[in-house]
Structure 1
Amino acid sequence: MLITGAELPDGRVRDVRTDEGQIAEVAQSLHSLPGEETIDADGLTLLPGAIDVHVHFRQPGHGHKETWATGSRSAAAGGVTTVVDQPNTTPPTVDGAAFDEKAEFAANSAVNYGINGGVNDDWDPESLLSRPVFALGEVFLADSTGDMGIDEDRFEEALAAAADAGITVTVHAENADLFDESAREGDAGGTGTEANADLWSQFRTAGAEIDAVEAACEAAADAGVDIHVAHTSTPEAAEIAAEAGMTTEVTPHHLLLSRDDLDELGTFGRMNPPIRSESRREKLYELVADGTVDVVATDHAPHTAAEKETGLWEAPSGVPGVETMLPLLLQEVREGRLTLERVRDLVAATPAERFSLDRKGRIETGYDADFTLVDLDDATEISADALHTKCDWTPFEGHEAVFPQLTVVDGSVVFDGRAGDRFTAGLGANVRGE
């Protein structure tokens, strides 16, 4: 494949040739070889494929919400070429047999993938870590889906096992002891968009996250292990992790939405951790822009609209986002709030470096041919009807975004939006090997 005349994130205009799944040349004025597929990218921008290190594709156990086939197509349509699935499925991915079962579903993926191993009271580290596990986590330090919450002793055990295996621990950090039970006495209103979802933000307090991140960083330092803090929702927690030398991720919903949006979202805005005040959101955005926050990832956690259309205390937590992450960030570039190079680092270069994906995250010779082609002048409004996830709604309905025209994984086109959103399934592979 030869892509001609594409603008790279640093502003250079280059031709890019791929061969056997890798980038073979990045240069000016390359000539097409006999029989070579050529794509004219004049006026378009070529980005390394995004690496979403936090998705929940729901299989096994909950395929009515999402499947590996639908989730990976949604990823590809959003410019994501690698996803990392979390362990709180049914059964949870806490032993070798459960890992193998999930790997059979993942074989349907249109994009490359990693499978995280989970930690709970029933986990079997010996059999689990004999498999090609991407990382441990999301390790839950609070109540969660599938009874995955653990105590301090189990967390220390997980840190030690990860150190022995040479893998990262990704942490969901909230201290349930600091949840504000008085919030449950408030009037939660009706169901769905009529519910008072701000009570959820009052219940799962900012302090619960801040305290847990500090404790997790201290435990990790004592164990000599670096952790990655998932979906940081407060600037205080992000700064604590950075000062401790740990990495953090922020989701698009924590970056772009605040409690001011909950009147419109209702129970569709319930997630863990909750979205925070506008002032905290603005400060968190500053930390994303200035490099304090390392990664943007989605915590793509789809539930059907029918499941969310219930009372606040009964609704499941989570929102979809794998298809809209990069398009929303590209709109931030269009509006001058982020640079294109910063977006590249947040969703591609830094997650690749942090999780030892040595040939991903950049448009350079010798790197994997994972990339996406976008027209930064072509912004559209997000509509759930146009997305490819099995989930039938989005918290970003009506937001402006820039969607890819083409997505390539290992040198093969997996999504072509130029001619009716065509997908190629089953091309993805486990980035840690088989």
Structure 2
Amino acid sequence: MSSPSAAGGVEPFDAVDVIRSKRDGGVVADDALRWMVDAYTRGYVADAQMAAFAMAVLLNGMSREEIRVLTDAMIASGERMSFAGLGKPTVDKHSTGGVGDKITLPLAPLVASFGVAVPQLSGRGLGHTGGTLDKLESIPGWTAALTNDELFDQLRDVGAVICAAGSGLAPADKKLYALRDVTGTVEAIPLIASSIMSKKIAEGTDALVLDVKFGSGAFMRDVEKARELARTMVALGTDSGVSTTALLTDMNTPLGLAIGNANEVRESVEVLAGGGPADVVELTVALAREMLALAGRPDADVEAALVDGRAMDSWRAMIRAQDGDPDAELPRPRETHTVTATEAGFVTRMDALPFGIAAWRLGAGRARAEDPVVHAAGIDLHVKPGDPVAVGQPLFTLLGHDVTRFERAHAALEGAWEVGADAPDSRPLVLERITA
């Protein structure tokens, strides 16, 4: 909407009235909600007022219509892309993040190998969940920054793009997210859903598959809250004309055997070569099937594309298109420390969150947005829950350049794994599929 104050007019609503309405459990009128987002984006509504509104949303929730209007208002704060001229269907994937979650790397080229365009606008990591761009920046020469024209050209010629999202997409979300981060309102499901979906809808993709994680290493630890978030986002996508489905996936244990940046790229290449850890392959295939079904390719044989080299060819073309060398040596750590089993039995537990924190302390993640990451840092797991182990057998190896970081990383892992006499019951990786 236009800015009344910029035109010398009187503001049509009052922020205090909007805050009170949500504070008292009411439903905010569409026009008032759109105004609140617009006025905050242009600086008329103060941070303190928007913080109060965000807390009211956290405590009292929002209706489906309110969330739709909020999301639409955040989209309207910036530009909206369109891929209508590409001549092929577009489909994207979003993950709520986890430990060892490198699925975007093999998934985008795999789906693109079937003639579908995958515009994967990604971010950098903050805290214990790594960022897709940080992983790819381990590859010598690879660049995350593309102009819109370069993005379109690569989608047309290669099919897959993983790059940084432009600042023009949903700028209201960027401002609101920073505020939520320092006011204890990050966990508000309506605000999480509108944050994620405003950017994805503004991106202009035809279809979207969501990987919503629950468990120790997930943003949403509780499965019921993760399910609520998934349903909310699927509804938002559907209401906005984007074909949307979600998979609810387990993040109690790290995904794959590599946690970090360069080592996660290596593991992704193993998957594209027809190998790799079973759980990474399983989730990559499950998400690829979802994406291809929404893109009109329900019969695509995704496993065959991993085995016969099509997905690898797509990967190599994608990396080269962004000035990366797919054959270059990836960064290696100068220091390592391997932890071994002190008793025989079965690995019964490996909690994702402590392993994510340990990798972060080794330098694989960042505490502040401006911090650099150490691409060679991280953790290589040698076993997973259910695996038998003997005394002295390696369990995991800490990787880094600075040996002084190892003590704090090791401290984060105190009590994070367990070896017992009996193998644990297996748990499904994909718990549920959610549709509109």
Note whether the superposition's TM-score is higher than 0.5.
no
Larger Rg: 2
The TM-score, its normalising length taken from structure 1, stands at 0.29
Higher RCO (CA < 8 A, seq sep 6+): 1
Structure with higher helix content = 2
